[in-house]
């Protein structure tokens, strides 16, 4: 899968793409990431990418011509990519969106800066607008990295079988159960006895109940979209859960 990232900070991506799972996926040829320097598509002496907003007001707006120039050049290549604008106004990027995007051969991610991009880019060039959450970032670059990372780990071969993304939290719609490793007693704190019991059915049930309890406590809205068994529902009701 190919990700093109249109940005005024192409160097931003070097270190995150040079470590860990993404680094190996790129090295193995499963993922290709190309930061595209927006300034290469400016035509003035100062390589200007932003300008003042019509109508007045604070801050600067990204000019349309360099972005349109970059997208025109990129879309000459085969296969064409879906153009995604990272923006605080976008659809919330969730695991479900990552799964949809993992089916594409190519994504072109456009990182905004300043107060935003000229609306005509959104209207005529952008296929999908994504936000990574309700907090203010300095620009789309950190969000673009989140998209590249979350989508890449869903591609066949990127994770080993042992780490398969099918077992990730969120793939079953619940928060993950607590994990422990050695030592079995750390200071005054022992590992829950059930995990040392060797009783795999009991361990599985304990983990499921922990997932359900944590999800009810911290993210109860997730329960409505999670596939729950009859015994899950019984357990949750015992904790006072009332499904709508
Ligand atoms: C003053 C109004 N602000 C909108 C909330 C302006 C503004 C703030 C920050 C406009 C752009 C930005 C830069 N942020 C992004 O480009 C961005 C973002 C984010 O800030 N939060 C969550 N997801 C994303 S994706 C791109």
- Determine whether the shortest distance from the Cβ of 214 to ligand 1 is under 6 A: no
Q: What pLDDT does 72 receive? A: 98
Q: Which atom of ligand 1 is nearest to the CA of 136?
A: 20
Confidence (pLDDT) at 189: 98
Active-site pick, 50, 168, 176, 209: 168
Does the annotation mark 153 as catalytic? yes
The pLDDT confidence band at residue 165, using thresholds 50, 70 and 90, is: confident
Q: Is residue 7 in contact with ligand 1, taking CB distance under 6 Å?
A: no
Given 88, 94, 99, 208, the catalytic residue: 88
Quickly state the pLDDT bin for 163 (edges 50, 70, 90): confident
Which residue among 5, 91, 131, 136 has the greatest number of ligand 1 atoms within 8 angstroms of its CB, and so is best to mutate? 136
- Ligand 1 pocket member 8 (CB < 6 A): no
What pTM was computed for the model?
0.96
Exactly one of 115, 119, 127, 199 is catalytic; name it: 115
Report how far ligand 1's centroid is from the alpha carbon of 232 (Å).
39
DSSP letters of the chain? -EEEEEES-GGGGHHHHTSHHHHHHHHTTS-EEEEEEGGGG--STT---EEPPTT--SS-EE-HHHHHHHHHHHHTSSS--EEEEEEEEEEE--HHHHHHHTT-SEEEEEE--TT-B-HHHHHHH-SEEEE--SS--SSSHHHHHHHHHHHHTTSTTTS-GGG-GGGSTTTSSSPPPP---S-SEETTEEPPGGGGS--HHHHHHHHHHHHHHHHHHH-GGGGGGS---HHHHHHHHHTT----
- Is 115 part of the annotated catalytic residue set? yes
The 10s digit of each residue's pLDDT in 44-99 is: 999 999 999 999 999 999 999 999 999 999 999 999 999 999 999 999 999 999 99
* Residue of 126, 137, 150 best suited for mutating to test ligand 1, as the one with most atoms within 8 Å of CB: 137
């Amino acid at each position: 899968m190919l990700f093109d990232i249109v940005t005024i900070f192409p160097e931003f991506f070097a270190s995150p793409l040079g470590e860990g799972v993404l680094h190996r996926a790129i090295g193995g040829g499963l993922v290709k990431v190309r930061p595209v320097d927006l300034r290469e598509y400016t035509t003035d002496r100062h390589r200007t990418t932003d300008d003042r907003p019509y109508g007045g007001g604070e801050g600067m707006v990204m000019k349309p011509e360099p972005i349109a120039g970059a997208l025109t050049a990129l879309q000459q290549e085969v296969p064409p990519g879906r153009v995604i604008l990272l923006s605080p106004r976008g659809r919330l990027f969730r695991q479900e969106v990552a799964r949809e995007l993992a089916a594409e051969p190519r994504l072109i991610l456009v990182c905004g800066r300043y107060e935003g991009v000229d609306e005509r880019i959104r209207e005529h060039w952008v296929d999908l607008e994504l936000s990574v959450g309700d907090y203010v970032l300095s620009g789309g670059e950190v969000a673009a990295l989140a998209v590249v990372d979350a989508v890449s780990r869903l591609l066949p071969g990127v994770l080993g079988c042992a780490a398969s993304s099918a077992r990730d939290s969120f793939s079953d719609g619940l928060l993950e159960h607590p994990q422990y490793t050695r030592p079995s007693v750390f200071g005054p704190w022992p590992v829950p006895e059930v995990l040392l019991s060797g009783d795999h059915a009991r361990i599985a049930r304990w983990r499921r109940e922990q997932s359900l309890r944590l999800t009810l406590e911290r993210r109860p809205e997730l329960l409505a979209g999670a596939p729950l068994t009859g015994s899950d529902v019984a357990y949750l009701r015992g904790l006072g859960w009332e499904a709508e």
